[in-house]
Amino acid sequence: MSDARFRRIDEWRWEIPPSGGMRVPGLLYTSEKLLKGMGADEGPKQVANVAHLPGIVKASLAMPDMHWGYGFPIGGVAAFDLDEGVVSPGGVGYDINCGCRLMTTRLQLEDIRDRLGDLVTTLFQHIPSGVGSRGNLKLSAKEEKQVLGEGSAWAVRHGYGTQADLETTEDRGVMAGADPDKVSDRALERGRDQLGTLGSGNHFLEIEVVSEIYDGTAAEAFGLEAGQICVLIHSGSRGLGYQVCDDYLAQMVKHVHEIRIPLPDRQLACARLTSDRGRDYLTAMACAANYAWANRQLLMHLTRETFEKTLGMNPRDLGMRLLYDVCHNIAKIETLPLTGKNVRLCVHRKGATRAFPPGHPALPAAYRKAGQPVLIPGDMGTGSYILAGTERAYTETFGSTCHGAGRVMSRTRATKASRGRSIPREMAARGVIVMASGRRTLQEEIPEAYKDLDDVVEVVHRAGLSTKVARLRALGCIKG
Amino acid sequence: MSYRVFDHTADLGIEISGETIGDVYAGAALALFDLLTESSAVRESEERTVAVEGEDEADLLVNFLREVLYAWNGEGFLAKTCAVREISPWRLTAVLRGEPHDPARHRIRMEIKAVTYHQASVRRTAEGWMGRVVFDV
């Protein structure tokens, strides 16, 4: 790559040297192939823009699935000093705590091969999906506030899961410091009837089979074996989270002069971490994060019920266990190594996943030797990867890695490219049963609209940010 | 009103042109509903007044569309027409006419999560006015 903006550091890293108002360099984890594919994408410019923000430490990072977002790039990681730094709602994204959870079962592919069509159909019937989908729960104002404070534990307390599910959820499915009084009436209104809904767009639920094991020891620790049936859920905080982001972003745009720095893009609006506005956002964001965890917990419960009913199995024989739940749109205060010392930082991961190393106290005991499970969903019908967090990610990228395949084609281009084609039929030819609420969603989400998942994962694996444990192949998928 | 959708890798942008600046704001609101649903199926049985402020024309456009979008995803209201009543660079009042969402008659085409400030602009052109905004979809 001869682009003057970049300086190649090694096989997997490119630097954007500081220029203009950049306080730190930009650092891209990518490959020659992926960098070429970026072409006209403005992602690298956005990586440089983020480097302008006050209190940013070390570098504005981009993962190999990085693509052009609004304000921050998607696939971006940025950490800020707690005294000098800022928090930016645009650095988290509208879908606060959008994330993935992966469940394993005791089933093998041959157990369900003939029932796959029934399973996909009944999941599609039982799990509310699509634009503005409403759930079967209508929360009272009081109950909703409990959800915002408790996260996954609220769902478990009401019978939608088990204590064991909490053990294997990032942060046990609850972010501390959530105060529902910092969430607007509008956001609360939007959240009241959407708990337990998948949503639309790139959100999905997929039945998958473990097709390859790369690291036998880690796979065993994670409870994975070849041929095993798993379910992956990708969803977030629904309308409540979008509204929280929208509310605080508008406030910060209005008061951005208070931080006394010119921003290259209004969407980067932010507030000092020491300010009331910054603290209030983090408090409201924690509420939305907790809503998302409760949402995925409920979606998992609906999945368990559907599998049990459709296959006529009891919970013990089905053995649907939560392997792990990770968020990939979040800002968190974490203790991380920086120039040889452990410091507390505010880490923004927008389209990036936490990847803590073996031995980290945040990991459940069963995974402490293997490292944190990292779930990387692919595009529709591609399946996914399970990786493990590493020491290298911990010291180099604020304990972060990629989050998925990353778009290369805009939605309009994807819709045009799929005109006249039957996407469900194409997917069926690849051995994947797909059901969706909207035809348009399928058109926008065609596989060629995304970067090659294998290329993205190869970069984080080879760069040492997380290592391959297993590959899963898609069998059936429901989309909003 | 005329608008076109422009390419943005992850999201969806619209460019609205009009003779007056008011046309751009009204056109942007209608473009938003046009992306959401088939507007010919929407009846004009109710109205909503939207009043917003902004620091400049672009900020005003984003703030206006944020309110318009809330009429849909917060209150389930679909508009067919939009009339701008009052406009200055910092203030805008407009009236939306339409009806509550009826799943039997209104097919929803897509989800628009939010209106972003990213590269939002409103400017004068040789023919009149032009506005640009990116939606998170």
- Whether residue A159 is contained in a domain is answered as yes
A258, pLDDT greater than 80: no
Q: Identify the closest residue of chain B to A192 by CA–CA distance.
A: B74
> Can you name the residues that pair with A101 across neighbouring β-strands?
A233, A325
Distance CA B86, CA A10 (A): 58
Q: How confident is the model at residue A259 (pLDDT cuts 50, 70, 90)?
A: confident
Q: pLDDT per position in chain B (137 positions), as tens? A: 689 998 777 788 999 999 999 999 999 999 999 999 999 999 999 999 999 999 999 999 999 999 999 999 999 999 999 999 999 989 999 999 999 999 999 999 888 999 999 989 999 999 999 999 999 98
Q: How confident is the model at residue A3 (pLDDT cuts 50, 70, 90)?
A: low
pLDDT in tens, A399-458: 999 999 888 888 888 888 999 899 999 999 999 999 998 778 888 889 888 889 999 999
**Token pair recorded at residue A163:** 């204590």
Which strands form B2-7's sheet, in the order they lie side by side?
Answer: B2-7, B12-18, B129-136, B114-124
Residue A30 near residue A37 (C-beta atoms within 8 A): no
Mean pLDDT of A187-206: 94
Residue A400 near residue A326 (C-beta atoms within 8 A): no
> Can you name the residues that pair with A385 across neighbouring β-strands?
A376, A471
CB of A95 within 8 Å of any CB in chain B? yes
Q: What's the distance, CA B13 to chain centroid?
A: 12
CA atoms within 13 A on the CB side of A157: 11
Q: Which of A375, A89, A386, A437 is nearest to A237 (CA)?
A: A89
CATH code of domain B2-136: 3.55.10.10
Nearest to A410 among B8, B66, B119 (CB): B8
Residues 232-291 of A with CB under 8 A from B: 239, 242-243, 245-246, 249-250, 253-254, 265-267, 269
Binary contact (B117, A132; C-beta < 8 A): no
- Whether residue A441 is contained in a domain is answered as yes
Distance from CA of A194 to the nearest CA of B (A): 12
A67-71, A269-273, A308-312, A349-353: which has the minimum mean pLDDT? A67-71
Q: Which amino acid is at A10?
A: D
Distance from CA of B16 to the nearest CA of A (A): 17
A466, pLDDT greater than 60: yes
CB of B136 within 8 Å of any CB in chain A? yes
A256, pLDDT greater than 90: no
Percent of all residues in chain A with a pLDDT value above 90, rounded to a whole number? 82
Percent helix, percent strand, percent coil in chain B, to nearest 5: 25, 45, 25
Residue to mutate among A70, A133, A451, with most B CBs inside 10 A, is: A70
Which chain A positions have a beta carbon within 8 Å of B11's beta carbon?
69-70, 411
Binary contact (B111, A266; C-beta < 8 A): no
Binary contact (B111, A70; C-beta < 8 A): no
A2, pLDDT greater than 60: no
- Whether residue A21 is contained in a domain is answered as yes
Residue A351 near residue A328 (C-beta atoms within 8 A): yes
Query: What's the DSSP call for residue A274?
Result: T
Binary contact (B111, A199; C-beta < 8 A): yes
- Whether residue A2 is contained in a domain is answered as no
Q: Which amino acid is at A276?
A: D
Task: Please tell me the predicted confidence (pLDDT) of residue A1.
Answer: 40
- For residue A367, give its domain range: 7-479
Q: Identify the closest residue of chain A to B119 by CA–CA distance.
A: A265
* Positions of A marked catalytic: 403
At residue A152, the 3 state secondary structure works out as helix
Binary contact (B113, A94; C-beta < 8 A): yes
The chain-wide mean pLDDT, for chain A, equals: 94
Contacts 24+ apart (CB under 8 A), A44-47: A44/A5, A44/A6, A44/A16, A44/A73, A46/A71, A46/A72, A46/A73, A46/A76, A46/A265, A47/A16, A47/A73, A47/A76
Task: Please tell me the predicted confidence (pLDDT) of residue A41.
Answer: 67
Distance CA A262, CA A268 (A): 10
Residues 121-140 of A with CB under 8 A from B: 130-132
- Whether residue A303 is contained in a domain is answered as yes
Task: Please tell me the predicted confidence (pLDDT) of residue B74.
Answer: 94
Which chain A positions have a beta carbon within 8 Å of B66's beta carbon?
246, 250
Distance from CA of A467 to the nearest CA of B (A): 27
Q: Which amino acid is at A101?
A: R
CATH of residue A347's domain is 3.90.1860.10
Q: How confident is the model at residue A189 (pLDDT cuts 50, 70, 90)?
A: very high
Nearest to A412 among B5, B58, B108 (CB): B5
Q: Determine how β-strand A433-436 pairs with β-strand A466-479.
A: parallel
CB of B4 within 8 Å of any CB in chain A? no
Distance CA A248, CA A238 (A): 16
Nearest to A250 among B11, B63, B110 (CB): B63
Please tell me the total count of domains within chain A. Answer: 1
Residue A124 near residue A435 (C-beta atoms within 8 A): yes
- Whether residue A1 is contained in a domain is answered as no
Percent of all residues in chain A with a pLDDT value above 70, rounded to a whole number? 99
- Here the ipTM equals 0.93
CB of A37 within 8 Å of any CB in chain B? no
Please state the domain extents for chain B. 2-136
Task: Please tell me the predicted confidence (pLDDT) of residue A61.
Answer: 98
Q: Determine how β-strand A204-213 pairs with β-strand A99-108.
A: unpaired
Distance from CA of A337 to the nearest CA of B (A): 32
Task: Please tell me the predicted confidence (pLDDT) of residue A391.
Answer: 98
Please report where in the chains the tokens 């009944």 appear, as a residue. Answer: A122
